[in-house]
């Protein structure tokens, strides 16, 4: 079968012919129909420091995808051939303390599909049946293929109550920030203010329901607050940029007792104004993946009752044209890019 492979420890990806994946007794074989390119895939493509320390070549990449079940292992009884499915991308061990207390998303021994084992940028993928999700048929295939990153956005946004709250989102125009905007709006936030350096992505955030989006190089968050009639700070912060400057700007503009979801990966050398965090009584929560599987339930219910994230899909192309997709991703003028494997 065809697959997009990180076959060498250097910049780039390659479409190759690889063996069909084995299907164990507890596994499911999926024929991939749609897949989406993620920022993690871009890190692997660029072969940056994180990728060099994490990826063992060769590996088929890709962890955002959907397709049809074509084969099930001998022990599988809850997933059936012909079903339309997507997959939770983190394989938890099931036995560590966190798994046994219902916190699989922070399992001690997580394996990432498309990172530590072969992923979904291929014609077929074999995955554990426990990770397979059959989703409501009213949700289109393209949306189904991006429920993995929507899960990150949902986990980020819904970690704290949003009804009537003022929300600040840094990195609002990236795909997860943009989807977190839509979720925040759906969940009843009052004002949703965002910052992003990219004009393209600022416009995308506006389409996703942001109240006000600013260029932090030219505009000030405090002035944005005043323009909306806000007299204090933000109740909720969603940090999606990974920028130390953006994070500290967020801390500066939080209301006392505010809560921050930290999704963006801040550099090791990030300087934090700890006194602000302490004296403001702020709460910080690290966000990793999706809460398994409560976040998946929230996503499905929102998508079937009015949540619209379709504007975040900005490009569609054939899987053979993956190089073009990564060129666009590197430029940054995009939301989610869908690769067609049918």
Question: What b-and-e string marks burial along 219-242, b requiring 16 or more CB atoms within 10 Å of the CB?
Answer: eebeebbeeeebeebbbbbbbbbb
Three-class DSSP category at 213 = strand
User: Do the annotations mark residue 96 as ligand-binding?
Assistant: yes
Q: Does 255 appear as a known binding residue?
A: no
142 is in an annotated binding site: no
Determine if residue 260 is labeled as part of a ligand binding site.
no
Cα–Cα distance measured from residue 19 to residue 36, given in angstroms and rounded to the nearest whole number: 22
64 is in an annotated binding site: yes
Handedness of CA 165, 171, 172, 175 (dihedral sign): negative
The answer to whether 43 is a known catalytic residue is: yes
Annotation-wise, does 105 bind a ligand? no
176 is annotated as contributing to ligand binding: yes
Residue 124, marked binder: no
How far is the C-alpha of 327 from the C-alpha of 11, rounded, in Å? 12
334 is in an annotated binding site: no
Confirm or deny that 289 is annotated as ligand binding: no
Judged on CB neighbours under 10 Å (0-12, 13-18, 19+), 266 is middle
d(CA 157, CA 249) in angstroms, rounded, equals 19
Q: Which residues pair with 111 in a beta bridge?
A: 91
- Identified catalytic residue from 40, 60, 86, 195: 40
Residue 38 known to bind ligand: yes
Return left, alpha or beta for 334; rule: phi > 0 is left, psi -120 to 50 is alpha, else beta: beta
Instruction: Enumerate the known binding-site residues for NAD(+).
Output: 176, 196, 201, 263-265, 287-288
Instruction: Enumerate the known binding-site residues.
Output: 38, 63-64, 93, 96, 99, 107, 176, 196, 201, 263-265, 287-288
Catalytic residues: 40, 43
Instruction: Enumerate the known binding-site residues for Zn(2+).
Output: 38, 63-64, 93, 96, 99, 107
């Amino acid at each position: 079968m065809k697959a997009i492979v990180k076959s060498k420890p250097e910049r780039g990806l390659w479409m190759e012919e690889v063996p069909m994946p084995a299907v164990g007794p507890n596994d499911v074989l999926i024929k991939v129909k749609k897949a989406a390119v993620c920022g993690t895939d871009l890190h692997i493509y660029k072969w940056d420091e994180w990728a060099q320390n994490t990826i063992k070549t060769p590996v088929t990449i890709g962890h955002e995808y959907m397709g049809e079940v074509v084969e099930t292992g001998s022990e599988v009884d809850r997933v059936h051939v012909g079903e339309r499915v997507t997959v939770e991308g983190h394989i938890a061990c099931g036995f560590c303390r966190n798994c046994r207390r219902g916190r699989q998303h922070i399992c001690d021994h997580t394996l990432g599909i498309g990172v530590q084992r072969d992923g979904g940028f291929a014609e077929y993928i074999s995955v554990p049946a426990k990770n397979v999700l059959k989703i409501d048929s009213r949700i289109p295939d393209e949306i189904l293929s991006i429920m993995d990153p929507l899960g990150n956005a949902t986990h980020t946004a819904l970690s704290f109550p949003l009804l009537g709250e003022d929300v600040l989102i840094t990195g609002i125009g990236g795909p997860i920030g943009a989807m977190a905007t839509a979720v925040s709006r759906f969940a009843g936030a009052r004002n949703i203010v965002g910052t992003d350096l990219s004009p393209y992505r600022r416009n995308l955030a506006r389409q996703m329901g942001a109240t006000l989006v600013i260029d932090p190089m030219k505009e000030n968050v405090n002035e944005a607050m005043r323009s909306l009639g806000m007299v204090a700070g933000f109740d909720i912060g969603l940090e999606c940029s990974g920028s130390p400057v953006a994070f500290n700007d967020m801390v500066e503009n939080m209301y006392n007792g505010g809560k921050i979801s930290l999704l963006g990966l801040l550099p090791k050398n990030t300087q934090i104004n700890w006194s602000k965090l302490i004296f403001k009584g702020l709460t910080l929560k690290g966000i990793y993946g999706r809460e398994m599987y409560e976040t998946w339930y929230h996503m499905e219910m929102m998508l079937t009752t009015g949540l619209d994230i379709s504007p975040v899909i900005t490009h569609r192309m054939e899987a053979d044209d993956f190089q073009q997709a990564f060129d666009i991703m590197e430029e940054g003028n995009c939301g989610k890019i869908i690769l067609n494997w049918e």
